[in-house]
Chains A and B, each alone.
Chain A
Amino acid sequence: MEKAKVNIDHTNPVITIRGLEKSFGDYDVLRGIDLDLYQGENLVVLGRSGTGKSVLIKIICGLLKQDAGEVSVLGHDVANIPDRELQELRTRIGFSFQNSALYDSMTVRKNLEFPLVRNRKGITKKEVNESVERVLDAVGLSHTINQMPAELSGGQRKRIGIARTLILNPEIMLYDEPTAGLDPLTCIEINDLINEVQQRFNTSSIIITHDLTCAKSTGDRIAMLLDGQFQRVGSFEEVFDTNDERVKPFFEYNFIQ
């Protein structure tokens, strides 16, 4: 499905990153990252495995702490806010994990209810049910409501994982390898879902991937992460219109295959 035109407010960055650095032992993963994510935008972060793409979004939502630099999310300095404020901020960010991270011991319904009943004080049972039905409908999996995660396919698990993040109406979505391990048709469905979420829920998203089809069909802007820094940022065509030997093989492998 062709990506519909979206309104991006380039005057309103929802995430601002300046001089971000992160190392693990002697290995410098991120070496001075600068980035702005604008309201309503889908930004795809491309890069090889182990280049720090997932580390970047884990720092954005406060799961990891940076060594240096500033990360501002919806006006909050993530590294320096009290726990309570961080918890509140996280309800405004949706994080879709690479392996979905559904709670094994709970049904789909319980998975979806879990963040909702704990973050919306005084919510009624009726409102909870309505919210669960709404997000399940959005991902097209209403019939799985009473199933356990183990009974779902890989694509269904991804969709439920996305539904669980949508239930809190997040303003920002972070997708960690949304199409990893899925067959090509399911990948297309997930890409369409990401675009649908952007339009229907008016979210701004960072999509971490090394799948160029996903990048092309979901991204309004692409950022290529190489050697711990964003080497090329722009539209898909701008990023890959290059003779850079570090970028070309990436493109050729994905499309010539």
Chain B
Amino acid sequence: MDTVNSTPAPAAKKGPSARHRLLDSFATLYKINSFILRFFKEAFLPPFELKEVMRQCYETGVRSFTLITFTGFVTGLIFTKQSRPSLLNFGAQSWLPSLVSIAIMRALAPLITALIAAGKVGSSIGAELGSMRVTEQIDAMEVSGTKPFKYLVCTRVLATTLSIPILATYTGFVALFGGYLNVATNEGTSWTTFWEQVFEPLTFVDFVASLAKAIVFGFTIGIVGCYQGYYSTKGTEGVGKAANGAVVTAMFLVFVEEILIVQIAGWFR
């Protein structure tokens, strides 16, 4: 027997109106803006938490070392290997070191480092601060007359801003070393010739743009991770969301910044 569902369909649940969503977006933008301004206001005023900054540099920098080394090396090696056939078609395989150098030093090294740091460091900052928020550790710092923002946020943002440029430079050289191994094996290029060809096409603007990118990426990863964690709510679910939000938002912003800085650097070339 056919059955007819006589129960009326429930009315569609109304979500927040477009006006409310727009207002919420502005409120969030204002909150983010205040958070960034607060960082600049507090980070450069005493007391400086230098010991904690160093500890965070160790956490973000040294602890990412193995992953960065492996990723950088593989990127350089594979990029060189994949680029060879195209150059070979034009008999231009001698340009391989220059091509690899431009690609890695101008774009790949800061970008790869930032993406790895966003995943590893950003998520860890988001989760750690999120967990501290939901277990009231941040409130406990606040009520004991200390400055949790300075101790937790400023130190972490400074650490990522300082350590990611160093990591990006290191990634660049490891990737170039990967490229060298490939070139030396296939073309028999010497160590000296390879490095001469690597530095030949690079200009001062390339180094400055690359460094600027890494600094901006480092700041972004730190500030996004801290923001997501510091304002985390809703218990353990909130901690997961903070970690996830830190990674997704930081990666998105890193790509946007990459485009902007490439454009700006292009004006100076």
Contacts and interface: CB of A to CB of B under 8 A. Distances in A.
Contact of B145 (A58, A87, A98): A87
Interface residues of B, number: 15
B135 A99 contact: yes
B38 to A, nearest CB: 11
B47 interface: yes
A244 B131 CA distance: 42
A9 B248 CA distance: 57
A165 interface: yes
Interface of A: 58, 61-63, 87-88, 90-91, 93, 95, 97-99, 101-104, 114-115, 118-119, 164-165, 168
A44 B87 CA distance: 81
Given A97-B136, A101-B136, A104-B137, A90 B143 contact: yes
A164 B143 CA distance: 11
Nearest to B128: A105
B196 interface: no
Interface string B140-162: 11111111000000000000000
Contacts of B47: 118
Looking at B135, B136, B139, B144, the one whose CB has the most chain A CB atoms below 10 A away is B144
7 contacts: A95-B140, A95-B144, A97-B136, A101-B140, A102-B140, A104-B131, A168-B145
B145 A97 contact: no
Contacts of B147: 87, 118
Contact of B137 (A88, A98, A101): A101
A165 B142 CA distance: 12
Contacts of A61: 143
Nearest to A105: B128
Contacts of A118: 47, 145-147
Contacts of A115: 141, 144-146
A90 B139 contact: no
B99 to A, nearest CB: 46
A103 B135 CA distance: 9
Contacts of A104: 131-132, 135, 137
Interface string B8-37: 000000000000000000000000000000
A85 B151 CA distance: 19
A168 B140 CA distance: 13
Interface in B108-149: 131-132, 135-137, 139-147
B136 A99 contact: yes
Contacts of A165: 144
A95 B137 contact: no
A58 B144 CA distance: 13
Given A97-B140, A119-B145, 17 more contacts: A63-B142, A87-B147, A90-B143, A91-B144, A95-B140, A95-B144, A101-B137, A101-B139, A101-B140, A103-B132, A103-B140, A104-B131, A104-B135, A114-B144, A118-B145, A119-B144, A165-B144
A168 B143 CA distance: 12
